[in-house]
Amino acid sequence: MAEPRRPAGLRGIRRRRPPALVLAVLAALGWLLPAAPAAAADEAPVVETVLSVPGTPEPDGRPVDLDVTLMTTDPAVPRPALVLAHGFGGSKDDLAPLGRDLARAGYTVLTATARGFGASGGLIHLDDPDYEGADAVRLVDLLATRPEVQRTGDDPVVGFAGASYGGALALVAAGLDPRVDAIAPAFTWNSLRTALFPQSAVAGPATSLADVAPQDTGVFKQRWAALFFRSGSAAGGAPGAGDGPRDGTAALCGRFAPELCRGYLATAGSGRPDADLVARLDRIAPARLLSRVSAPTLLVQGEQDTLFGLDQADATVRGLPAGTPSRVVWASGGHDASVDVQDQVGELEAWFGRYLRGDGTPAAPGLSAVVPQTALVGQADDDAPLTLQTSAYPGRGAPLATEDRALDGGPQQVLAPAGGAPAALTSLPGTGPALAAVTGVAGYGLGVLPGQAATFTTAPLDAPLRLLGSGRVVLDVTSTATSATLFAAVWDLGPDATDPGSTNPGAAGSGTPGRSAAPSSAVLPGAAVAPVRLTGLVPGQARRVEVALPAVAHQVPVGHRLQVVVSSTDQAYALPRTAAVHTVALAGDPVLTLPRLESAQTSGGGLDVPLPLVLAVAGVVLAAGLTALVLRRRVAAVPDRADLADLPLAVDGLVKTYGDGFRAVDGVSFTAGPGQVVGLLGPNGAGKTTTMRMLVGLIRPDAGAVYVGGSAVQPGAEVLGAVGAFIEGPGFLPHLTGRQNLEAYWQATGRPAAEAHLDEALEVAALGGGLDRRVRGYSQGMKQRLGIAQAMLGRPRLLLLDEPTNGLDPPQILAMRGVLADYAATGRTVLVSSHLLGEVQATCSHVVVMDRGRVVLAGSVEELTASDDVTLVGLSADADREAAVAVLRGLGLVVGTAEDRLLRVQGDRPRAAVVAALVGAGVGVEQVDGRRQLEEVFMGLVGGGPGEGGEGGRG
């Protein structure tokens, strides 16, 4: 769908390039994929092939051609494919920069302009499975025939990604085509009907975090629909002229399919949903196909999104089959704000890496949510957001726990004005949720108009409260009319709001209609309201209704109050034309019912322990104590070994078998001595990552043990204080600066600040002025260097680094070699897991090679690359290379080129005879070395190819 806040936003990506190491940032309506490091982007040319793909014909038989581009850095190498779907009103051109970055990152990328947009033909059917969905299947057909695309049997390895309009297409494609292997839809819809005609009157117990009643047609979201329709009717320019409706609505409809256009025009004119339009939106909804989606699904939904709220992702994840891997992320941003997923890059890399390339372990299931702190007008935005993670999606497969908060406020009369004017202003679709930024004043006074709202308020909080999901309130509504349209919301009132019962018209919760809170005292989380339309009312008789309040993610501080506001107007929606007076009262127990998570993890305040959703500080302390107790009991299960006290690392017979019976690590043993830089090598699926995770106690082995200085490594073991680790990418608190992250990490160890050697770590990070910027603005390379610096804090005896050069440019890689060599020269030990063989040979003194879960070779690089039958001959600058090759081949030797002036000679002639023959022929020789490249050794051991017979990404 559209992002009308900025004209370019309707067409797809917004790219951000932080200084220094540039990482493509995924943004706006067509991103949602990991980007490549800048160094690769500068060096690897991308081959782009423009194609015209036959799409699905229009209903009248007119043919449709789709404009697509295939991108890869090497057409001869098959790679997993990614289809990038653009935002509403855009085209493939919006995705070109991101597509090139992804091609350099190792994917074959297909960017396609959807029908009805850009240079593609046809009409806009709003991701109809019969049209846009069928087109997506044809794109997969195309990928199945291309040599650039990796296959499993006859099926291509392919993923779909996109946001808003493109995100819905990803869901539809996965529902139609089982060949789709993974999807990442974001900021998108489950059903356009429930998004554009929401109804928050519910019946029955809460089953999930954002429960709505999809069977009821609700209140027309008129402002958003108008912005969307305007952007679509103007889409495509000249190509649409011949494709649009051929009746009198052509000028209004642009490239919309005629039946959609007529339905919208009828709805916009009456303010009530056209029956044919509703039926059509139901038929084309991704919701209808979810039961057929088997592709692992990563859903990202925005917390500032009044177009497609959190309820849309909630409905989608609950509609997926139980066996479909899924993860839901509630992220900052949305159609009301900038769509910026820079903080989600790690999530996305892990998702597609796991399910398309077989890299790494599966991402944690359940729900991840960024929960912002209250930010009142004029207040500094220094409060830390909270990141909350649940182990399973709440309400999916288990009852949803709740808690009640008492509300105060008696029956109140609410006026519904004639013509719906004046109307409350809670958000301006397309301009953003921060009403104060638009109007210059606090939003409460405009969002709660005098005489048009009933308010019910809690007592001040004596402990912090986290709102996550949709609360509920039961109301009795009496009206002078036979129908009523109401809008319910939960406001966060700051401590400077006038106390209830005051005669001040700003009193909050006093029971007097028409109050308004003092400026800077109220926040409407997500700028979200929940519309309710009641029909069949008997004037003067009360109707009881349970209202599902907007799903939000929000932290409420101590001393604040919650206020349920029920209003008769909201400018974002179509409103009744006739005047009425409604009486609104709390029914039954006067409470606000909130969802509560019984088991979740939080980060942001230095803790990572089980927490309920709504929890006082005392609960945190208790949970932390219980966690520590459990960890202490686990330690000492494996005895220490005094005979290994002189070895920084000894790995003895590690075995790890996953639940499906696959043995990822099978009897791995090796040692790393003082002063060594050891490279852990192996193809994808060899077991490297699983081994690294067992080295630091993140995974408990089925058999075997790990010893650091003779002490057994287990979760919570004290010896882990002598280990610095950087495994599976960097992870930081995005709201803190780089320096603050390092300081907070060290403070958590409880050791004296002088032992951190912070200055040395900062030198390794080499971030310059970026050190004092918030990490949320860092590129991947900057985060990588900060992560390595964090691992080196305290100068640990053993340093474990997983792919440390990812995101670094060549000069920084060269500098990192020196850092690691100098670190090991002090008698410490470094273990580096990597797939870059040349880099390992240049950096490491020793290597351990793994394949299919076993160690197949271990030793010093010097010993392993030594060879009796291979000679590397370095020619002088003025030597005749062709003459040298002719001389050597005349001796019956095999000659290849290692580098421009370096010849690789193989055969049974003594090395001295080779040199004598060259010198005798007048060829200058500057160096001779009897070594093979590490790559030759490696491929001789694992020649079956990376990943063949491996662990499918779990190692």
Q: How far is CA 871 from CA 108, 894, 931, 934, 940, in A?
A: 38, 10, 6, 14, 18
**CB-based burial of residue 830 (10 Å sphere; 0-12 exposed, 13-18 middle, 19+ buried)?**
buried
Task: Establish whether the linkage from the previous residue to 422 is cis, with ω within 30° of 0.
Answer: yes
* DSSP-assigned beta bridge partners for residue 537: none
DSSP strand pairing (543-548 vs 600-603): unpaired
pLDDT tens, position by position, 347-363 = 777 788 889 988 766 66
DSSP state of 322: T
Q: What is the pLDDT of residues 2-47, one digit of tens each?
A: 333 332 233 333 333 332 222 222 333 333 333 333 333 345 799 9
Q: pLDDT at residue 519 above 90?
A: no
CA-nearest of 509, 530, 500 to 426 is 530
867-931: CATH class:
alpha beta
Q: Which CATH architecture has domain 401-596?
A: Sandwich (2.60)
Three-class SS state of 488: strand
The C-alpha atoms of residue 309 and residue 313 are separated, in whole angstroms, by 8
Tokens at 21, concatenated? 């190491």
CATH 3.30.160.40 fits 7-190+287-363, yes or no: no
Helices (H), 256-297: 258-270, 275-284
Indicate the Cα dihedral angle 839, 842, 847, 851, nearest 10°. Answer: 30
Q: Is residue 468 within a helix (H) or strand (E), and if so which, with residue range?
A: strand 465-469
Helices 810-825 and 780-792 sit at what angle, rounded to 10 degrees? 0
Mean pLDDT, residues 921-944: 67
pLDDT digits (tens, 9 = 90+) for 699-731: 888 899 999 999 998 876 788 888 988 886 667
What pLDDT score does 227 carry?
A: 85
3-class SS of residue 121: coil
Among 453, 550, 428, smallest CA distance to 510 is for: 453
Which of residues 732 and 667 earns the better pLDDT score? 667
Strand partners, 786: none
- Class of the domain covering 642-863: alpha beta
Average pLDDT for 99-117: 92
pTM of the model: 0.63
- Residue type for position 386: L
Phi, psi dihedrals of residue 357, rounded to the nearest 5°? -105, -10
Paired residues of 177 in beta bridges: none
CB–CB of 885/921 below 8 Å? no
Q: Which two tokens stand for residue 184?
A: 């990442």
Beta strand residue intervals within 785-912, DSSP E: 798-802, 829-833, 846-851, 854-860, 870-875, 894-899, 902-906
Domain ranges within the chain, ordered by starting residue: 7-190+287-363, 401-596, 642-863, 867-931
**The pLDDT value given to residue 955:** 52
Q: What Rg value do the Cα atoms of the chain yield, rounded?
A: 31
DSSP-derived pairing of the beta strands 151-152 and 47-54:
unpaired
Beta strand 472-479 with 201-202: parallel, antiparallel or unpaired? unpaired
Most confident of 288-297, 510-519, 552-561: 288-297
Cα separation, 147 vs 59, whole angstroms: 33
Angle between helices 780-792 and 738-749 (to 10 degrees): 30
Kindly report the average pLDDT of the chain as a whole number: 79
Identify the weakest region by mean pLDDT among 397-411, 467-481, 637-651, 799-813. 799-813
The type of residue at 536 is G
Residue 297 has pLDDT above 90, yes or no: yes
| Lowest-pLDDT range of 20-24, 516-520, 852-856 | 20-24
Distance CA 224, CA 312 (A): 16
- Per-residue model confidence (pLDDT) at position 59: 94
Strand ranges in 319-374 using DSSP code E only, listed in sequence order: 326-331, 366-371
Query: Once rounded to an integer, what is the mean pLDDT over residues 898-922?
Result: 78
Q: What angle do CA 793, 798, 801 make, to 5 degrees?
A: 75
Least confident among 65-69, 487-491, 659-663, 792-796: 659-663
Alpha carbons 78 and 108: distance in angstroms, whole number: 8
867-931 shares the fold of 642-863: no
The percentage of the chain sitting over the pLDDT mark of 90, rounded to a whole number, equals 39
Tokens, residue 799: 């340093």
- The tokens for 785 are 């260097």
User: What is the residue whose two structure tokens read 């493109």?
Assistant: 166
Neighbours of 104 (CB within 10 A): 25
pLDDT of residue 478: 97
Q: How many angstroms separate the CA atoms of 351 and 723, rounded?
A: 28
Give the whole-number percent of the chain exceeding pLDDT 70.
77
pLDDT in tens, 234-281: 554 433 334 444 455 566 788 999 999 999 999 999 988 888 999 999
Which amino acid belongs to residue 797?
R
Q: 435 near 612, Cβ under 8 Å? A: no
